[in-house]
Amino acid sequence: MITSEDVLKVLATVQEPELHRDLVSLKMVNDIEVKTDKVKLKLTLTTPACPLRSKIEHDVKQAILSLEGIKSVELVTDAQVPSDGRARELLRLPIRNAIAVASGKGGVGKSTVAVNLAVTLAMKGARVGLLDADIYGPNIPTMMGVDHLPAPKEDRLTPAEAYGVKMMSIGFMVRPGQPLIWRGPMLHTAIRQFLADVEWGELDYLVIDLPPGTGDAQLSLMQSITLSGGVIVTMPQQVSLDDASRGLAMFNQMKVPVLGVIENMSYLEMPDGTHMDIFGQGGGETLAKSFKVPFLGSIPIDPDVRIGGDIGKPIVYSHPESKAAKALVEVTEKLAAQISIAAFAGAKDGS
């Protein structure tokens, strides 16, 4: 007669392919029930955006079916995002992971990527916040179709909410069209307020859209927030890559773990299915290799990405079947996996 212990024993031989640890020590196996020839259990992933969900489910089923007398396996899959366990907790913020999206220069699609990452994570069931810290061009409210904040409650700011994402922007703090001149200490205070005085609630992921570039403003922002890690968005052409490598150097200097490089506007798909490399080819991947950081993927040029930004309907929500949306979802899944890896590396017990 097979018991729950037998199931645990066999699952202790199954590895989580990204974290390179077994499922049992990662506490991913729960609620085991064995009824004669049938096993039921709950598989708790480290992110609802797990890129290898089907491989893990397959490996679990195979392992259990190898037990003598077991004929069927019923899996229920949920997710519990681990916290990176960093000092953010000092602000008493129940934010498990904070990820900065940066770029070496403006116009490469950093805000577009940040928005679509956040919306994808929320669509997959994660609790997500999006903080627009781009003081030079706070475009996220437009891209998310939101033009004002809800009324504050008991002296605390209430974030706006769209597509299941809680959102706060430096753009809400200034009148439209007004030039934004921020000095280091002001920025520091503003960002601390965004973290401490906003009712974020519990979040699995806070995505932070940094200003483009690698100057004082970026350094000051990164000093105000304890980050789990950062991603760099670049375009494929050399000038963009040179700027992006400065961005990577900035993360290294600030000891912020680099979660990966994303190449945007990589190619345009022609009606016959061939690709036109408008801005060159493969630069993002080469850059990632030379810095020994993960390459998270390439996103094609698609007018619907731009239209989605202009009308406040992110492409992953409005055209989920498009190549660009699929590429963005794939990039998000790879990033979510890197965040789990970083969280397990950073936190002692990963929970």
4: tokens are: 């729950």
DSSP 238-296: HHHHHHHHHHHHHHHHTTPPEEEEEEEEEEEE-TTS-EE-TT-SSHHHHHHHHTT--EE
Asked whether position 265 contacts ligand ADP by CB under 6 A, the answer is: yes
CB of 279 to ligand ADP, least distance (A): 11
Judged by CB under 6 A, the stretch of 37-45, 83-91, 117-125, 303-311 that binds ligand ADP is: 303-311
Residue number with CB closer to ligand ADP (34 or 265)? 265
Q: Which residues ranging from 135 to 154 are in contact with ligand ADP (CB under 6 A)?
A: 137, 139
What is the maximal distance between C-alpha atoms in the chain? 73
Distances (CA, A) of 104 to 6, 108, 146, 190, 328: 53, 9, 27, 23, 20
Radius of gyration over alpha carbons of the chain, in Å?
A: 21
Amino acid letter, 316: V
Residue number with CB closer to ligand ADP (47 or 169)? 169
Asked whether position 305 contacts ligand ADP by CB under 6 A, the answer is: yes
Site string for ligand ADP, 103-132 (x = CB under 6 A): x--xxxxxxx--------------------
Asked whether position 299 contacts ligand ADP by CB under 6 A, the answer is: yes
Residue number with CB closer to ligand ADP (212 or 350)? 212
CB of 247 to ligand ADP, least distance (A): 11
Amino acid letter, 193: Q
Site string for ligand ADP, 181-220 (x = CB under 6 A): -------------------------------x--------
Question: Following CA atoms 197, 230, 130, 95 in sequence, which dihedral angle do they give, to the nearest 10 degrees?
Answer: -50
Residue 287 and residue 241: Cα distance in Å, rounded? 7
| Backbone phi and psi for residue 71, each to the nearest 5 degrees, phi listed first | -110, -25
Asked whether position 46 contacts ligand ADP by CB under 6 A, the answer is: no
Site string for ligand ADP, 213-252 (x = CB under 6 A): ----------------------------------------
Asked whether position 301 contacts ligand ADP by CB under 6 A, the answer is: yes
Distances (CA, A) of 181 to 107, 159, 167, 194: 20, 23, 22, 18
29: tokens are: 């196996």
Q: b/e per residue, 331-348, with b = 16+ CB within 10 A?
A: bbbbbbbbbbbbbbebbe
Place of tokens 């809800």: 150
Asked whether position 264 contacts ligand ADP by CB under 6 A, the answer is: yes
Residue number with CB closer to ligand ADP (202 or 277)? 277
CB of 137 to ligand ADP, least distance (A): 6
Asked whether position 170 contacts ligand ADP by CB under 6 A, the answer is: no
Judged by CB under 6 A, the stretch of 154-162, 221-229, 269-277, 297-305 that binds ligand ADP is: 297-305
Q: Where on the chain is the footprint of ligand ADP (CB under 6 A)?
A: 103, 106-112, 137, 139, 212, 264-265, 299, 301-302, 305-306, 309, 324
